[in-house]
Amino acid sequence: MTLPFLVKTLAIRARSGLRCRGCLGLLDDASEAGLCGQCWGGLQPLPELRCPHCALEHDPEQPCPEPVAWAHGDALWDYHGGRPPLGPLLLPGIKSGEGGWRKALIRRVVEAPLPGFCCSVDLVTSAPATGLRRLLGGFDLAEELARTLARRMDRPWQPLLRKAWGSGRQGARNETERRRLPRKAITLASLLDSQPVVLLVDDVWTTGTTLLRCAQALKAGGAREVRVLSLFRAL
Candidate residues 32, 44, 45, 64; the one interacting with Zn ion per rule CB under 5 A: 64
- Can you tell me the distance from the alpha carbon of 168 to that of 188, in angstroms, rounded to the nearest whole number? 17
Q: How many CA atoms, within 13 angstroms, populate the side-chain half-sphere of residue 143?
A: 15
Binding piece for Zn ion, criterion CB under 5 A, among 52-60, 79-87, 151-159, 172-180: 52-60
Binding piece for Zn ion, criterion CB under 5 A, among 17-25, 69-77, 83-91, 213-221: 17-25
In degrees and rounded to multiples of 5, residue 125 shows phi and psi of -140, 175
20-49 positions binding Zn ion, by CB under 5 A = 20, 22-23, 36, 39
Q: CB neighbours of 82 closer than 8 A, spacing ≥ 6?
A: 22, 38, 39, 41, 42, 43, 44
- Can you tell me the distance from the alpha carbon of 220 to that of 58, in angstroms, rounded to the nearest whole number? 29
Single out the residue of 31, 14, 198, 37 nearest to residue 121, CA to CA: 198
Q: Is 212 in the site for Zn ion (CB under 5 A)?
A: no
Candidate residues 42, 46, 53, 196; the one interacting with Zn ion per rule CB under 5 A: 53
70-109 positions binding Zn ion, by CB under 5 A = none
Residue nearest to Zn ion (CB): 51
Q: Is 54 in the site for Zn ion (CB under 5 A)?
A: yes
Q: Is 198 in the site for Zn ion (CB under 5 A)?
A: no
- Least distance in angstroms from the C-beta of 190 to Zn ion: 31
- Are 65 and 58 within 8 A, CB to CB? yes
Binding piece for Zn ion, criterion CB under 5 A, among 5-13, 18-26, 81-89, 227-235: 18-26
Q: Is 51 in the site for Zn ion (CB under 5 A)?
A: yes
Amino acid at 175: E
- Least distance in angstroms from the C-beta of 174 to Zn ion: 23
Q: Which is nearer to Zn ion, 64 or 164 (CB)?
A: 64
Sheet holding 72-78, edge to edge: 72-78, 225-233, 197-205, 123-126
**Which chain residues interact with Zn ion by CB under 5 A?**
20, 22-23, 36, 39, 51, 53-54, 64
